[in-house]
Amino acid sequence: MFYTKTILNKYPKEQRYLLAVLQDIQKKYNYLPRGALIMVQEYFDVPLSKLYSMATFYKALSLKPKGKYIIRVCDGTACHIRGSALIIDEIHRLLNILPGDTTEDGNFSLETVNCLGSCALAPVMVINDKYYGNVTPALVRRILKEYGGVNCEHIQEKG
């Protein structure tokens, strides 16, 4: 919890910095560890219930650890009408996770985002920070294979 302490020390003890602190912790650990929440509670002297409420309200915050690769599929309107649902289905079929879930081996998390502002590339998928534009179900298979997420024998390459 060393990092949490460092993060806390950057901010004055005013409630308005709560969200920023939680975001920083989220960025550091990819989720909000319970111990960190307790430290935040003590530092700001706010009820734990309020922190828990915030942690479950804001989509940027998560109480569950995320996978090594975070797959974010844009389901903004432009992506949606260009077929993002097919992309999500394909990932679900291949990795057996629904949006919000993480694979059992802790390698992949699947999330949907409302818009990445890259509508010209629709549908868009981002793995960690790498953008993939004009994604198709077939392309999903190839990309996930690159990340070691799909059993190669069952994948037939497209010509």
Partner 1 sequence: MKVMIDGKKYDAEYGEYILNVARRNAVNIPALCHSDALPGQGNCRMCIVEIVDKGRKSIVASCAYPITGEIEIVTNSERIYRIRKTIVRLLSASAPDNEYINRLRKEYDIPPETRFKVDRDGKCILCGLCVRACDEIGVSAISTVNRGTTKRVSTPFDEPSTVCIGCGACAYICPTGTIEVNEDEGRRVIWNKTFELLKCSECGEYFITREQYEYIKKRYDLADTNELLCDKCKKKGIGDKLTNVLHNVIPVQK
Partner 2 sequence: MNIFKRKVKKTVLVCCGTGCLANNSFEIYKGLKKKIEDLAVNVKVRPVVKATGCNGLCEKGPIVTILPDDVFYCGVKVTDVDEIVENTVLNNKVIERLLYFDSAKGKKVRSHKQSEFYRKQLKIALRNIGQIDPGNIDDYIERGGYSALRKVLFKMSPKGVISEVERSGLRGRGGAGFPAGLKWRQCAEMDNFPKYVVCNGDEGDPGAFMDRSIMEGDPHSILEGILIGAYAVGSEKGFIYIRDEYSLAIKNMTKAIEKAAERGFLGQNIMGKGFSFDIEIVRGGGAFVCGESTALMASIEGRVGEPRIKYIHSTEKGLWGQPTVLNNVETWANIPVIINKGAGWFSRIGSKGSRGTKVFSLVGKVRNTGLIEVPMGITLREIIFDIGGGIIGSGKFKAVQTGGPSGGCIPESLLGLGVDFDSLNEVGAMMGSGGMIVMDENTCMVEVARYYLKFLSEESCGKCIPCREGIKRMLEILEDMCTGKGREEDIELLLEISETVKEASLCGLGKTAPNPVITTIKYFRDEYLAHIKDRRCPAGICRELTVYYIDRDVCRGCGLCRKGCPTEAISGEIGSRFTIDTSKCIKCGSCKEICRLNAVKVLGGAAE
- Binding residue numbers for [2Fe-2S] cluster: 74, 79, 115, 119
The DSSP-derived string for 4-35 is HHHHHHTS-S-GGGHHHHHHHHHHHHSS--HH
| Cα–Cα distance measured from residue 9 to residue 19, given in angstroms and rounded to the nearest whole number | 15
* Interface with partner 2 (CB under 8 A), residue from 38, 70, 86, 97: 86
Nearer to partner 1, 49 or 156 (CB): 49
Q: Contact between 56 and partner 1 (CB under 8 A)? A: yes
Lay out the site mask for partner 2 across 25-64 (x = CB under 8 A, - = otherwise).
-------------------------x--xx--xxxxx---
Q: Contact between 15 and partner 2 (CB under 8 A)? A: yes
Contact stretch for partner 1 (CB under 8 A) within 42-50, 82-90, 130-138, 140-148: 42-50
| Secondary structure letter of residue 113 according to DSSP | E
For 102-156, list the strands marked E by DSSP.
108-113, 125-127, 130-132
In angstroms, give the least distance from the CB of 55 to partner 1. Answer: 9
Q: Contact between 53 and partner 1 (CB under 8 A)? A: yes
Cβ atoms < 10 Å from Cβ of 84: 22
Q: Which residues are annotated as a binding site?
A: 74, 79, 115, 119
At 124, is the secondary structure helix, strand, or coil? Answer: coil
Size of site (CB under 8 A) for partner 2? 51
At 72, is the secondary structure helix, strand, or coil? Answer: strand
Q: Among partner 2, partner 1, none, what binds residue 128 when CB lies within 5 to 8 Å by partner kind?
A: none
* Among 130, 101, 113, CA closest to 75: 113
